[in-house]
Amino acid sequence: MKLFRYRRPSLNTLLGITKAKKRVKKELGITAAMKPFRWWTNQKRRFKRKIGYESDAGRLIRNGLPRPGGCLVVIVMTGMIVMAVAVAIAG
């Protein structure tokens, strides 16, 4: 598993809601019915993949170096608050 993800997973993904919705749509045949309308979007994605737009190098050029996620920021801020409270109580 990578230390830094390209994108943070959504709450729905973590809870499994996204997977359940996709399964229901596939069972009802909605996915197959909508396939012709996704043609242009799929072509754009294939082209971007072919030229390396979503490769690690392409992502680095577009976004710069990866930064720690929001979780690390929360941990650091919590630590700073705890230290400030401890100093206030001690002093």
**CA–CA separation, 84 vs 45, rounded Å?**
49
Structure token pair of residue 56: 């690690």
Q: How many CB atoms lie within 10 A of CB 62?
A: 9
Predicted TM-score (pTM) of this structure: 0.45
Give the pLDDT score at 58: 86
Domain ranges of the chain: 10-54
Give the pLDDT score at 4: 64
Here the contacts of 64-67 (C-beta below 8 Å, separation 24 or greater) are: 66/4, 67/4
**Contact residues for 22 (Cβ-Cβ < 8 A; gap 6+):** 31
**CA–CA separation, 3 vs 14, rounded Å?**
18
- Highest mean pLDDT among 22-36, 54-68, 76-90 belongs to 22-36
